Structure 1
Amino acid sequence: MLAVRRISAVGHRPSPLQQLRTRGAGYHDYVRVETPSGHIRVPLSSPKVIGIANDRGDRSHQEDFYSFAALSLDPKELQRSVKKHFGIEWDSTKVSDLLARQVMFVGIYDGHGGSMVSQYLRQELHGLFESSKASDIPELYDWIRSLGGYFKRFRGGVLAPWIAEPPTEDPLDLETRATLTFFEVDRNLSSEEATQTCGATASVALLHSLDAPATPFFSAKRLALTVAHCGDTRVMLCPVKGGKACPMTENHHADARVESIRLRRMMGSSIITDSYGESRWMGALTNTRCLGDLRYKKFGVTPEPEVRTKLLNGEEWAYMVLVSDGVSSVLSDDEITDLARGSPDPRTAAKKILDFSQELGGEDNATVIVVPLAGWGKNEGTDETKELREYRRIQAIGSERQRRM
């Protein structure tokens, strides 16, 4: 199981980077699967359950990290989420309480300015996600407003019903829980001087089976997907038929439509184009949503995630892929999903994607996570990007030869 350290109450209070939540953790590094003879445990570290490949590239240090866990969440929250986003009345009583609570969590984190924030996310985000409570929201909102600048105008977004007087008594839903948790990360990090200029982008995918009898995410026929996203890590789905990638995230760059509208409405224009032609907010940041980078928060950089949901007929989807920008800056979504085709297991698929991105000259930290769904191994249609990839491979080989001459 994932280890949980207990912090002694004796002596000085440890910093947020040294302490872990002491609330009872229910998360595990395995998923429970129901069988006629009872529950069995399937380890998430198995290459057939989750495939992971990462490399630091030509960098001297690693700032990419990831985490995965099976969370235990209140079925009332899950019911509310399913009703809110899909209009479905899910009856949690049709499965055992343990399986009704089970939600698969997969996160990918890309640090910048150091690895402190991305390492914190690797260690803590899944536990924070599970343990955050609605009663935390009013105090957290006061802290958010204290950041000043942009956040003086912040009205809480999806947190607003729990800030109102009187506050709602409704349970949280996954969108609200994700927003609460991402803001909690920033508050927890705020006492660390290094996090003023150190940050991380993050994408988190939550998979909740709606089947009865209960099934795990990799064989679920009906699966609720929620993606909470800040920055330019990416999440995409590959369908069984056709294979064209279905993106679940949009890069939060300063010149992206949604972000430029948000920032100009609240802060005016502070987009500066650097010598490489890249747009940067305040002349410094590529991403306008991230965790950490606290010195820029009052200027509109927010940890508030963009949340997207999708109800999946599991047998129509082959796999989900999460990548850091060390991969997505080199490969298109369609190239990424095509590269995973025909792989014997998710780990091999992840390695194929990583290896090809590096073959094309990727030098950044790079991470790939492949999550199989019920349609794994059943891809139909042709590999549409095969010829393009071969052309790019030849070009990369030629460029490398010229560089060495």
Structure 2
Amino acid sequence: MDLSKKNNKDKGDDITSNDDNKINSRISMDKPIKLSLGEINVVDNNDDLNNSGTFKLNIDNNDELDDNNDNNDINPCKGLSFSVGVSENKNSKYRRTMEDVHTYVANFCERLDWGYFGVFDGHAGKQTARWAGTNLHNLLYDSIINDKFNDLRENLNYSFLEADKEIAKLKDVGSSGCTAAVAVLRWEEEVEEDEDEDEEGEGEREGEKEEGVEKDIKSNEINNEGPFDFIPSKKHRRILYTANVGDSRIVINRNGKAKRLTYEHKGSDKNEIKRIYKSGGLVLGGRVNGVLAVSRSLGDIYLKEFVLGNPYTTMTELNEGDKFIIIACDGLWDVCDDQEAVSLIKDLTDAKIASEKLCTYAIQQGTSDNVTVMVVMLDTRIFGYTKM
């Protein structure tokens, strides 16, 4: 069986950030949710690692971590079946500025144990990456809550395209753009065949999952004595959705083997070259119109006719063999292949330590780019807490 179902069509606490980096949480008060912490991190780092996985929201530090910061002891993933660690390095030997941005939101869409994770690698400035890091999850939130599509891959595609439209309206983004790798982890409840037929005679396609927005939160009580705030029923399935444009990558460790869930949109890709030429563009030296190395991105308005914002998307059902997810920019992948990255951290259980190890490794291997590595550790004990 294939690891993922692929689609190539071409807020928990929802977190938003305004221009002053002030945080506003939008929470539905009629649902019994547990307040949790997520993170938006838009920083110009120095060369010291910035391990931001255990911080509260809106840590905007331009220096190394402050050991006296009370936020250091806060675990934003308590009660969840996953934990997140992020490490970054500007890599000043080769780069004057830090153009990467990352975002994660716990209990995404006001649903227990859902997660949103994103890494945005800016180029020609960080304006687009910053905008995407602070806004894309809100577009996705609205799309999901409004039941715009039955398939979250469609929600992701829609949100990426809406983001591109909004970025094009901004005056301060200039010629900047960014690659993006986004993952959404959530629980879905399978629909019984007779339930499908009862709904106006419109049954779902075989193997398709129900959106189940209301069912996901109501089917289980949050008052339990175990380590998790959400206990799945036997009908629940743990699903990972991914979307990417450009060359940022998402890799999952499945039974010790690396499985890539993204597609690299580059000027050297034969399919992308064909598409670009068909649209009237050129690829010179592996670059779109001789300028841009990636063939899909957010922003890059001056090349938008050829450099699309349509993401590559996947859907993967997770099981006990899936241990962690790595989301990183090309600063890691330029010097480390998928299996090597998985093998380097396969024996670690702390997401922050794992992300730091990969980030440090990339620098030691001589990467010439900014480096951002996000590791999402999956607590497989959740499969043993199934509720009847």
TM-score normalised according to structure 1 size = 0.63
Q: Which consecutive unaligned segments of at least 5 residues does structure 2 have? A: 1-12, 39-73, 190-218, 222-227, 382-388
1:262 aligns with 2:298: no
RMSD of aligned residue pairs (Cα, Å): 3.6
d(CA) in 2 for partners of 1:219, 1:353: 32
Counterpart selection for 2:134 from 114, 119, 123 = 123
TM-score normalised according to structure 2 size = 0.65
Counterpart selection for 1:61 from 69, 89, 97 = 97
1:103 aligns with 2:114: yes
Aligned to 1:202: 180
Q: Is the 8 A contact 2:148 2:155 kept in 1?
A: no
Aligned to 2:307: 301
Give the ranges of 4+ consecutive aligned residues of structure 1 lying more than 2 Å apart after TM superposition.
Answer: 1-6, 17-31, 44-48, 70-73, 132-135, 169-173, 191-196, 209-222, 260-264
- 1:2-401 to structure 2, matched below 5 A, reads 4=16, 24=26, 29-30=36-37, 43-44=76-77, 49-58=83-92, 59-70=95-106, 72-73=108-109, 98-99=111-112, 103-132=114-143, 171-210=149-188, 222-240=237-255, 243-264=256-277, 266-268=278-280, 270-273=282-285, 279-298=286-305, 300-313=306-319, 315-375=320-380
Q: Is the 8 A contact 1:2 1:29 kept in 2?
A: no
Q: What is the identity, as a one-letter code, of the residue corresponding to 1:289?
A: R
Q: Is the 8 A contact 1:219 1:374 kept in 2?
A: no
Kindly tell me the number of residue pairs found equivalent between the two proteins.
Answer: 289
| Structure (1/2) with the larger helix percentage | 1
d(CA) in 2 for partners of 1:362, 1:45: 34
In the TM superposition, what is the alpha-carbon distance from 1:374 to its structure 2 partner? 3.2
Q: Is the 8 A contact 1:207 1:217 kept in 2?
A: no
Q: What is the identity, as a one-letter code, of the residue corresponding to 2:270?
A: R
Bigger Rg, which one: 1
Q: Which consecutive unaligned segments of at least 5 residues does structure 1 have? A: 7-16, 32-40, 74-96, 136-168, 274-278, 377-405
d(CA) in 2 for partners of 1:373, 1:19: 30
Q: Secondary structure at the match of 2:114?
A: strand
* Percent identity over paired residues: 25
Q: Is the 8 A contact 1:108 1:203 kept in 2?
A: yes
d(CA) in 2 for partners of 1:53, 1:23: 24
Q: Secondary structure at the match of 1:334?
A: helix
Distance 1:5 1:50, change over 3 A: closer
Q: Is the 8 A contact 1:55 1:365 kept in 2?
A: yes
Distance 1:170 1:239, change over 3 A: closer
Q: Secondary structure at the match of 2:169?
A: coil
